[in-house]
Structures are given as C-alpha cells and as structure tokens.
C-alpha cells in the first residue's frame, strides 16, 4: 500500500474518531450531566419508585456469617428526598472548597508558574537536549519530553518545535524530530524520574475512591513513583527505535518546499542563561539538602511519632508535605533564575507570573467545581460501593480476575482517553468504580492507579481531541505545508503501539514480581 493510501486510511479513521469525539459534551457539561444522572439513579435504586425497584443493597465486604462479624449492608441512598437535597445544597460550597485536587494543583502550579515564566524550564530543556552526543540526541529528545511533564505546557510549546529545529540542523527530516518530541511529551506522559504535579492530582482522586471501601485508607502522592521512573528508559528506547527504524526511513531526505521561511535553530543558550540556570540548580540542591536534614534524623522536622511497623519514627509528615515542598523548590528555583537572568526585576514581576499561571487554570477550576459535586453525589448515594461489590462478584463469577483484569482496565483507560483528554477528569469518572472494585478483588488502589496512568498515556498522541494536537500540526506545517491530521496520526501510531507493547508487559512483570510501585505503593490490598 502506498504512503498516500496509508495516510488516507489513517485520516478516515481519525476523522470518524473526531466526529464522534466532537459530539461528546465538554468536560464541564459532561460532569453536570453526570450529576443529574447520579441523582436520578439514586432515586431509582434508592427506593424512590418501590413498585418498580425496591431499595438496592449489598452485603458489606468483611461482614457476614463467614467472617465472624455481624452482617452489615450498604444501601443506595436516595438523594432526591428532603434530607438528600438538603445535603446537596448545604454542602455545595464546602464540597468545592475542600475538593482535594483543587488545592493541590493550584499550589504546585504557583511554583511551576514562576519557574516557567522566568524561562528557567525552557532553558533547562534546551540544555538537556543540546549537551548530549549526536548518537543519543533522539533518545534525549524523547526522555526530555517525558521529564517536561513537570510543566506540560513547556514541553509542548518549547520542546516539540525544538525537536524539529535540532533534526533540521543535523541534516535530518525535521518532522522526525517533532514526532520524537511529541511522543515523549504526550505518549510518555506520566513516566518521569521526577515527581510532578500529576502525582498528587491523581492520588487525590484515588484516595476518596479507596475510602468507599476503607475509610482509613490513604494514598501517598508518590505511590507510583518507582514504576513511573523505571518506565522512562524503556519508553525512551522504544521511542528511539520507532524514530530511527520506522519514521526516519519512511520520511526520507528532507527538501524544503518553496515559499517556506525556515528560521535558524532556536536551541541556543546564552552565557547569561547558563549562569542563571547554574545558580538555579544550586538553589535546588540546597533545598533538597534541607529536606534531607529534615527527614534523615529520627526526630527530624518532617518525621512523626514512632511507627512500630517501620521500627523508627514515621515519615508521614514528609509525605504529607510533598506538595508544599514541590511548590517551594519550583518557586525558589524560578526566582533565583529570574533574578540572575534579569527576567525578574521587581516583586511585581513575581506577582504577575504567579497570576499568569493561575489565569491558565480557569477552566480547571470550573471543571473542579462540577467534578467535586459529582464525586460527592456518587459517594453520598453509595452507588459506587454497591456497583463495586456487584461488579467484583460478577467478574469473579466469570473468572475474569487477576492480570487479565488489570490489562483489560489499561485498554479501557486508553480507549476512554481517545474521546476525553483531561487525565484528572477521566480519573474522576473511573476511580470511584474501578478502585473499590479492584480492592475487593485484592489489588491496592495504587495498583489500579498505576494501570490507569499507563492506559492514559500512549493513546494521547492518537486523538485530535488532545488540546495540543492542532498546535503540533502547526509546528509540522512550518516544514511541510500540507501536514494534516492523517499525516500526524500516521507518524504517531507506531509510537503508540510501541509504548503500549513495552509498558503493559513491564507492568505485568512488576505485578508478578510483587515490586513496590512507589513510596508506600503496595501491589495488593489486604483489608
């Protein structure tokens, strides 16, 4: 089949995905609709129409004749009663204000905003990809893309066009550089050596979902860190192989079209920028040193009371302080960079940068409001708990358990990702159902969360519903005028397949070896 026909096939497939995806409501509208659906379902299954369906209930796990504990039942609560509606209206403001992801994300973004708008993150990315041997340049671009998720916008806006410029400067096809960077930034999303804002954001949805089964369960923001960090070299190698063995041969030699005004490479770092970055990194090391001093001694500032299981003082205060620590590190690093590089001239500049960072979070705040109400209704109605118990019983009855179930969930997550771009929005929908369900089947919330994060990554680069998808096309059109959805998807499909092929088996092997997923990240759940 010719390349033209192949591109046409991919374009037709993606056009259908785009049509279907565009028919879905925006996340705000979707969550508002789900709020209404939960209210109606609570009325139906909570006994609102007794002549049709009596109140639905299930035996609470861990109780009943076989356990030696008196039987307890979880009943669906009708929220369309006087008491239910009072609960909805009187708690609306508190539900939004105390929504865990809201505060976590905004605090981290305050620090990241300063680091990003001073230019520190952009320069750090340039240094990363420019100070490596040429034979490692493709690998470094893919890995830099994954690391850039500490500030996703910087990765999309800075690294992707830089990938094209670097490849052009090396005499290679610039679209291959753009594709490699896009694959790392978006297809490798979540895999990172460093903790990012995504870690506490995702954990903040996982914990309340786990509390449906175990009210005392807590989820550490870094509970998937080991798995995500170990994924980086694997994804980097897979991305490099696809670029060098599939994409570069397919694209062939690059000949600029007439009328294209190609600029010089933009990956140059000035002496002043290098100096500022050096002092910024020194400040980061100093802050990390202070954190080590706060946790190394048993009676350190961020250590808690004696833990009999650990045999030493608890690290829980440190774990609970990870978000403020991340904020301080990014803020101070950006501040030092800005002062040395003179992109910060007064305290007003810092204030403007934090305000600019918050202004980009407007849509997220609106989504957080409706998502918070949906999660609250879902919890109050007990629909999640009842669905989890019935779902786990049904899956066990048909024998669909264990590793096949986890792999199936990864695939479900990747398919949902094709029609809904926001990682937090998808997890807000899936967590209340799958986290409790898999807990009842013996898997920890951290395991379910890790499976979701894998499924939520590699299919990013296949959907035009990704907010940055059109931007990548614009970057590519700088070098090839007629680049469209079909062109981009035909380039990115091999990356998606390769990342899926390496990450799912790695996850399965991790489970089978019973390795910790991260800090306080067990594989299995034991009530």
Average pLDDT, the chain: 82
Q: Which residue has the higher pLDDT, 48 or 69?
A: 48
In eight-state DSSP terms, residue 155 is I
Mean pLDDT confidence for 196-224: 85
pLDDT of 466 strictly over 80: no
Contact 254, 172 (CB under 8 A): yes
pLDDT tier for residue 516 given thresholds of 50, 70 and 90: very high
Q: What is the pLDDT, as a whole number, of residue 37?
A: 92
Q: Which residue has the higher pLDDT, 98 or 88?
A: 88
Q: What is the pLDDT, as a whole number, of residue 80?
A: 94
According to DSSP, the residues that pair with 524 across neighbouring strands are 443
Is residue 471 exposed (0-12), middle (13-18) or buried (19+ Cβ within 10 Å)? middle
Within 13 Å, how many C-alpha atoms sit on residue 151's CB side? 29
Q: What is the pLDDT, as a whole number, of residue 230?
A: 93
Predicted confidence (pLDDT) per residue in 10-23, tens digit: 446 545 644 564 56
H-run or E-run covering 57: strand 57-59
Mean pLDDT confidence for 112-121: 85
Predicted confidence (pLDDT) per residue in 343-395, tens digit: 999 999 999 988 888 886 777 788 789 888 988 898 888 887 787 677 766 76
Q: Could you tell me the pTM of the whole model?
A: 0.67
Q: What is the pLDDT, as a whole number, of residue 317?
A: 85
C-alpha closest to that of 354 among 116, 122, 169? 116
DSSP string, 209-268: HHTTT-TT----TTTTHHHHHHHHHHHHHHHHHHIIIIIHHHH-S--PPTT--PPPPS--
Q: Which residue has the higher pLDDT, 353 or 133?
A: 353
Count of Cβ atoms closer than 10 Å to residue 297 Cβ: 11
pLDDT of 2 strictly over 50: no
Distances (CA, A) of 29 to 24, 43, 219, 357, 367: 9, 22, 29, 24, 9
pLDDT tier for residue 152 given thresholds of 50, 70 and 90: low
Q: Which residue has the higher pLDDT, 4 or 180?
A: 180
pLDDT of 167 strictly over 50: yes
Predicted confidence (pLDDT) per residue in 282-335, tens digit: 999 999 999 999 999 988 999 988 876 567 888 778 877 877 888 899 899 999
pLDDT of 126 strictly over 90: no
Q: Which residue has the higher pLDDT, 478 or 151?
A: 478
pLDDT of 418 strictly over 80: no
């Amino acid at each position: 089949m010719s390349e033209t026909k192949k591109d046409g096939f991919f374009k037709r497939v993606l056009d259908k995905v785009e049509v279907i995806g565009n028919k879905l409501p925006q996340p705000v509208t979707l969550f508002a609709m789900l709020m209404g659906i939960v209210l109606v379902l609570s009325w139906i299954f909570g006994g609102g129409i007794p002549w049709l369906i009596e109140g639905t209930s299930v035996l609470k796990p861990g109780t009943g004749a076989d356990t030696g504990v008196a039987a307890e039942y979880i009943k669906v609560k009708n929220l369309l009663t006087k008491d239910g509606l009072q609960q909805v209206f009187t708690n609306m403001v508190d539900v939004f204000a105390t929504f865990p992801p809201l505060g976590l994300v905004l605090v981290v973004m305050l620090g990241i905003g300063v680091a990003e708008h001073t230019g520190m993150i952009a320069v750090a990315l340039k240094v990363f990809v420019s100070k490596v041997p040429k034979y490692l340049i493709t690998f470094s671009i893919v890995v830099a893309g994954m690391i850039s998720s500490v500030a996703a916008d910087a990765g999309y806006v800075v690294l992707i066009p830089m990938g094209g410029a670097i490849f052009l400067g090396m005499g290679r096809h610039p679209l291959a550089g753009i594709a490699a960077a896009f694959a790392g930034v978006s297809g490798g999303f979540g895999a990172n050596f460093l903790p990012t804002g995504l870690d506490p954001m995702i954990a903040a949805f996982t914990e309340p979902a786990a509390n449906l089964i175990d009210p005392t369960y807590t989820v550490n923001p870094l509970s998937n860190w080991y798995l995500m960090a170990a994924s980086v070299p694997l994804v980097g190698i897979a991305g490099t192989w696809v670029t060098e063995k599939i994409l570069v041969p397919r694209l062939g030699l690059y000949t600029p079209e007439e009328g294209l005004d190609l600029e010089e490479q933009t990956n140059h770092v000035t002496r002043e920028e290098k100096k500022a970055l050096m002092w910024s990194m020194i400040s980061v090391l100093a802050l990390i040193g202070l954190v080590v001093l706060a946790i190394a001694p048993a009676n350190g500032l961020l250590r808690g009371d004696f833990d009999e299981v650990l045999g030493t003082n608890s690290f829980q205060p440190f774990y609970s302080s990870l978000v403020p620590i991340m904020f301080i590190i990014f803020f101070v690093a950006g501040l030092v960079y800005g002062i040395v590089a003179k992109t910060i001239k007064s305290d007003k500049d810092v204030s403007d940068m934090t305000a600019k960072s918050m202004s980009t979070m407007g849509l997220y705040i609106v989504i957080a409001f409706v998502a918070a109400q949906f999660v609250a209704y879902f919890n109050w109605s007990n629909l999640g708990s009842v669905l989890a118990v019935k779902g786990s019983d049904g899956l066990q009855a048909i024998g669909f358990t264990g590793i096949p179930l986890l792999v199936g969930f990864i695939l479900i997550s990747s398919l949902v990702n094709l029609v809904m771009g926001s990682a937090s929005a998808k997890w807000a929908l899936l967590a209340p159902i799958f986290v409790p369900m898999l807990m009842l089947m013996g898997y920890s919330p951290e395991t379910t969360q890790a499976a979701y994060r894998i499924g939520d990554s590699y299919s990013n680069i296949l959907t035009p519903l990704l907010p940055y998808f059109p931007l990548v096309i614009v970057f590519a059109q700088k070098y090839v005028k007629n680049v469209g959805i079909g062109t981009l998807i035909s380039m990115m499909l091999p990356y998606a397949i390769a990342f899926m092929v390496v990450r799912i088996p790695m996850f399965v092997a991790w489970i089978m070896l019973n390795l910790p997923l991260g800090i306080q990240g067990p594989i299995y759940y034991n009530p």
